[in-house]
Amino acid sequence: MKILKILFLAVNWRVSLLKAFQDVKTHSKFPLQFIATDSDMLAPALSIADESHCLPLFSDSSCLQSFHTICKTQDVDAIIPLTNNAIDFLDKYREVLTSKNWRLFIQESHTIKICHDKWNLWKFMKQEGFNSPKTFLLAESDPPDIFPLIAKERKGEGGKNQIVIENQQDLDYCMGRYSQHIFQEFIIGKEFSIDLFADINGVPKLIVPRERLSVRGGEVMTSRIEMNSSIIVSVKKLSRKLGLTGPCNIQGIQDKNGQFFFTDLNLRFGSGSIHTIAAGGNIPLMIYQELTGQQFLNPVIKDKSIMTRYPENIFRHS
């Protein structure tokens, strides 16, 4: 019986996620193997996979050949990227990689172009009638005229270089220092990350909103599942409009009046997606079921469950 092989690109610290995939083996009818890759040979998640490989940086001209060699020699069936840069890398070489009959868990190129650029994402939201905080880009719009604001990298992830702007003095400083940032209206309310899994035909099979109770360095540390029906309906509509497939993570804020505003869209697993998995939304199992042609089982989600995260350590002996 052929072994089903799934390769993860840029695993870095995603230890809990790879452990969740390893747990799928207890439900599997077919033998499974997980292969992890990263540019850092000491990336902790490399030790969780069945096999691991170190890759050059995506910017290195030798990366594609090294990656192709690993995929070919390991006879992989599917590739799951875990960072935005990994998605961009696969999209850049999509034509070469898809010719090998490897299932790439990435969106269409036009969707990536929208979602990996926060200015493009806001224009899309406005055009399609989705609620999103008012957003400004100095090169294409008038300076902001509302406070508070949050300045974000136009293309970035993990909350890097985000700054809350309270007044005109803060704004003047940030416009001079971060002229390429977008400036977005800061909505006061509950922050949500919504885990989504849609099948290969773009049909949403799982939508789980999680309130972000505490965040550190852009990573959710404490979250509570809240199966809010209005948020779920909005996310389903957005997913179908963009034709999303596979695992994604959508972020937004619900204001004091209950109105939900979309802020970011990650075309990959979110940092806190392990909460959804542990609460019954077993996305790794759904990926396995899709790849093996099995019927999806209707998940039962533990509503109101709470997750708190903490650091662990991995020790190696050379």
Query: Average pLDDT, whole number, for the chain?
Result: 94
pLDDT at 143: 81
Tell me the one-letter amino acid at 154.
R
pLDDT at 216: 87
- Nearest one of 17, 58, 18, 14 to 39, comparing CA atoms: 58
pLDDT at 6: 98
305 is written with which tokens? Answer: 């469950």
pLDDT above 90: residue 159: no
pLDDT at 317: 76
pLDDT at 149: 94
pLDDT at 318: 65
Q: What does the alpha-carbon distance between residue 262 and residue 101 come to, in Å, rounded to a whole number?
A: 34
pLDDT at 196: 98
DSSP calls for 246-288: EEEEEEEEEETTS-EEEEEEESS--TTHHHHHHTT--HHHHHH
For the ranges 101-110, 155-164, 270-279, the lowest mean pLDDT is seen at 155-164
Query: Which are the contacts of 134, defined by CB distance < 8 A and separation ≥ 6?
Result: 146, 184, 185
pLDDT at 56: 97
Q: What does the alpha-carbon distance between residue 41 and residue 60 come to, in Å, rounded to a whole number?
A: 16
Question: Percent of the chain at pLDDT above 90?
Answer: 82
Query: Which are the contacts of 99, defined by CB distance < 8 A and separation ≥ 6?
Result: none
Query: Which are the contacts of 219, defined by CB distance < 8 A and separation ≥ 6?
Result: 158, 159, 271, 272, 309
Over residues 277-290, the mean pLDDT reads 97
Partners of 81 in beta bridges: 9
Q: What does the alpha-carbon distance between residue 134 and residue 146 come to, in Å, rounded to a whole number?
A: 9
* Per-residue pLDDT tens digits for 198-247: 999 999 999 999 999 999 877 899 999 999 999 999 999 999 999 999 99
Over residues 171-188, the mean pLDDT reads 91
* Per-residue pLDDT tens digits for 22-37: 999 988 888 999 999 9
For residue 1, name the pLDDT band (cuts at 50, 70, 90): low
For residue 48, name the pLDDT band (cuts at 50, 70, 90): very high
Over residues 140-151, the mean pLDDT reads 89
- For residue 295, the 8-state DSSP code is P
- Nearest one of 277, 279, 250 to 263, comparing CA atoms: 250
Over residues 13-24, the mean pLDDT reads 97
Angle at 211 (CA atoms; ends 205, 212), nearest 5 degrees: 120
Over residues 9-23, the mean pLDDT reads 97
Over residues 186-202, the mean pLDDT reads 97
Angle of helix 283-291 relative to helix 15-23, nearest 10 degrees? Answer: 50
pLDDT at 209: 98
Q: What does the alpha-carbon distance between residue 135 and residue 119 come to, in Å, rounded to a whole number?
A: 8
Domains in the chain with CATH codes: 4-106 (3.40.50.20), 134-185 (3.30.1490), 188-308 (3.30.470.20)
Say what the pTM is.
0.95
Question: Percent of the chain at pLDDT above 70?
Answer: 99
Tell me the one-letter amino acid at 175.
M
DSSP calls for 116-150: TSHHHHHHHHHHHT-----EEETTTSPPP-SSSEE
* 144 or 109, higher pLDDT: 109
pLDDT at 297: 84
- For residue 294, the 8-state DSSP code is P
28 is written with which tokens? Answer: 């599997």
